[in-house]
């Protein structure tokens, strides 16, 4: 996703609209306070859109909630303390600790939380549309920056004959060697779906990948009651829930949750630090910091431990090339250098 540049006037307009919205929400809250609220209880945000969060209780009842002003921005997957204000409505009064957070810049360049408390991110690949290895590396860097494990899924296995599969296997084998599990699936033949279910069990996961690789098809195959969930949300909000714009958390039948955030196909590397970049390259990690110069770019500098390792075959040359390109891109990016 490219960063949209806004004129000063557009930015002011957006700010004004947001203030007005906050004021309206504040007035609603004042009215609720006068009416009295139920006891504080724990809940999970399973959908989030604009000023409204859908909070689910432990016994899986859903409430349409507004949040108190001082909580900052909330995200799908957030644990919250909330109080009922009606049969289907409530007020979020506190935000629980986040063990991980995926954020992206909004139109105004502010970091906007997209999904909280992720345990894993699944990168979906397919023979069609094709991907570059650099793209996979970018995904893995972004995932390492969130601090969660990544998993590679090669979908549309049904489209591959033995020779084509061997080529992709060879391309993806280095990732398996550095610790990223690789699953082969087909949402059409259901091949590998049991393995994928097992990989997603008892954790909160997010699927990412280029448009057309089959993410929605996989989610549908994994979630038989997806439509029921969407209908329940529509009934609660009094309007159609647009899965193209609303992030949603689904419970997997075998345990574990899947967060579907339609906006996340790729990641912005602009938010990523050099440390994050290094974390995304566990194959380079043993050598980084061993170069003669502490600011070594691992290009032409003498005494470069990374280049020596690559020359001895300990680092795949392609991965080193990708690391160099990403490092150069980070240094060129105005924001991401922290």
Ligand X SMILES: Nc1nc2c(ncn2[C@@H]2O[C@H](COP(=O)(O)OP(=O)(O)O)[C@@H](O)[C@H]2O)c(=O)[nH]1
Binding site for Zn ion (CB under 5 A): 291, 296, 298, 304, 306
Nearest by Cα to 177 from 319, 32, 328, 20: 319
When CB distances are held under 5 to 8 angstroms depending on the partner's kind, the choice from Zn ion, ligand X, Mg ion, none that residue 155 binds is ligand X
Q: Which of 68, 73, 169, 188 binds ligand X (CB under 6 A)?
A: 188
* Residue 5, both tokens: 């540049």
187 binds ligand X (CB under 6 A): yes
Residue 186: name its binding partner from Mg ion, ligand X, Zn ion, none (Cβ under 5 to 8 Å by kind). Answer: ligand X
Tell me how far apart the alpha carbons of residues 266 and 5 are, in angstroms, rounded to a whole number: 19
Output the six-digit token pair for 163. 């020779």
**Smaller CB distance to ligand X: residue 33 or 158?**
158
Nearer to Zn ion, 251 or 324 (CB): 324
Which residue in the block uniquely carries the two structure tokens 């033949």? 189
Does position 136 interact with ligand X (CB under 6 A)? The reply is no
Within 189-248, the residues that bind ligand X by CB under 6 A are: 209, 211-217
Contact stretch for Mg ion (CB under 5 A) within 6-14, 80-88, 174-182, 212-220: 212-220
Residue of 216, 251, 297, 327 interacting with Mg ion (CB under 5 A) = 216
Picked from Mg ion, Zn ion, ligand X, none, the partner binding residue 306 (CB below 5 to 8 A depending on kind) is Zn ion
Cα distance from N-terminal residue to C-terminal residue, the chain: 21
Q: How far is the CB of 184 from Mg ion (least distance, A)?
A: 20
Partner from Zn ion, Mg ion, ligand X, none binding residue 304, C-beta < 5-8 Å depending on class: Zn ion
Question: Pick from 1, 42, 159, 167: which binds ligand X (CB under 6 A)?
Answer: 159
Find the residue with minimal CB distance to ligand X: 214
Count of chain residues binding ligand X (CB under 6 A): 15
Identify which of residues 133 and 278 has a Cβ nearer to Zn ion in the complex. 278
Cβ 237 to ligand X, closest distance in Å?
A: 23
Task: Give the binding range for Mg ion (CB under 5 A) out of 87-95, 97-105, 216-224, 296-304.
Answer: 216-224
* 3-class secondary-structure state, position 145: helix
198's contact among ligand X, Mg ion, Zn ion, none, with CB below 5 to 8 A by partner kind, is: none
Report the C-alpha dihedral over residues 8, 10, 12, 15, rounded to 10 degrees. Answer: -140
In the complex, the smallest distance separating the C-beta of residue 248 from Mg ion, rounded to whole angstroms, is: 13
Q: Nearest residue by C-beta to Mg ion?
A: 216
Whether the CA torsion 111, 117, 119, 121 is positive or negative: it is negative
Distance CA 208, CA 191 (A): 20
Least distance from C-beta 221 to Mg ion, angstroms?
A: 13
In the three-class reduction of DSSP (H, G, I as helix; E, B as strand; rest coil), residue 226 is classed as helix
Beta carbons of 43 and 80 less than 8 angstroms apart = yes
Distance of CA 14 to the CA centre of its chain: 25
Q: What angle do CA 75, 81, 85 make, to 5 degrees?
A: 100
CA gap 272, 111 in Å, rounded: 12
Q: For tokens 């714009």, what's the residue?
A: 245
243 binds Mg ion (CB under 5 A): no
Q: Which residues of 7-19 are buried (b: 16+ CB within 10 A; e: fewer)?
A: eeeeeeeeeeeee
Q: Decide if 169 contacts 305 (C-beta within 8 A).
A: no
> Residue numbers of the site for ligand X (CB under 6 A)?
155-156, 158-159, 186-188, 209, 211-217
């Amino acid at each position: 996703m490219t960063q949209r540049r806004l004129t000063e006037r557009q930015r002011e307009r957006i700010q004004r609209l947001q203030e007005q919205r906050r004021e309206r929400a504040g007035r609603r809250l004042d009215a609720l306070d006068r009416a009295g609220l139920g006891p504080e209880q724990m809940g999970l945000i399973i959908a989030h859109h604009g000023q409204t969060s859908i909070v689910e209780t432990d016994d899986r009842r859903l409430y349409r909630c507004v949040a108190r002003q001082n909580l900052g921005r909330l995200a799908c997957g957030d644990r919250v303390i909330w109080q009922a204000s009606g049969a289907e409505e409530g007020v979020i009064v506190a935000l629980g600790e986040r063990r991980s957070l995926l954020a992206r810049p909004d139109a105004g360049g502010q970091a906007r939380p997209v999904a909280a408390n992720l345990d894993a991110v699944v990168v979906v690949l397919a023979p069609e549309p094709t991907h570059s290895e650099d793209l996979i590396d970018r995904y893995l860097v972004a995932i390492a920056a969130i601090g969660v494990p990544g998993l590679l899924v090669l979908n549309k296995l049904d489209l591959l004959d033995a020779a084509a599969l061997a080529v992709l296997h060879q391309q993806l084998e280095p990732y398996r060697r550095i610790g990223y599990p690789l699953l082969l699936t087909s949402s059409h033949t259901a091949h590998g779906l049991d393995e994928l279910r097992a990989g997603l069990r008892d954790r909160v996961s997010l699927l990412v990948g280029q448009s057309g690789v089959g993410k929605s098809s996989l989610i549908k195959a994994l979630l038989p009651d997806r439509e029921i969930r969407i209908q329940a949300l529509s009934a609660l909000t009094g309007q159609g829930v647009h899965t193209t714009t609303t992030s949603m958390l689904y419970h997997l039948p075998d345990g574990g949750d899947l967060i579907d955030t339609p906006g996340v196909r790729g990641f912005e590397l602009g938010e990523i630090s050099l440390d994050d970049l290094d974390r995304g390259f566990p194959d380079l990690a043993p050598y980084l910091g061993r170069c003669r110069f502490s600011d070594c770019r691992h290009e032409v500098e003498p005494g470069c431990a990374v280049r020596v390792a690559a020359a001895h075959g300990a680092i795949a040359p392609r991965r080193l090339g990708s690391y160099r390109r990403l490092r150069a891109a980070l240094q060129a990016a105005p924001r991401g250098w922290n």
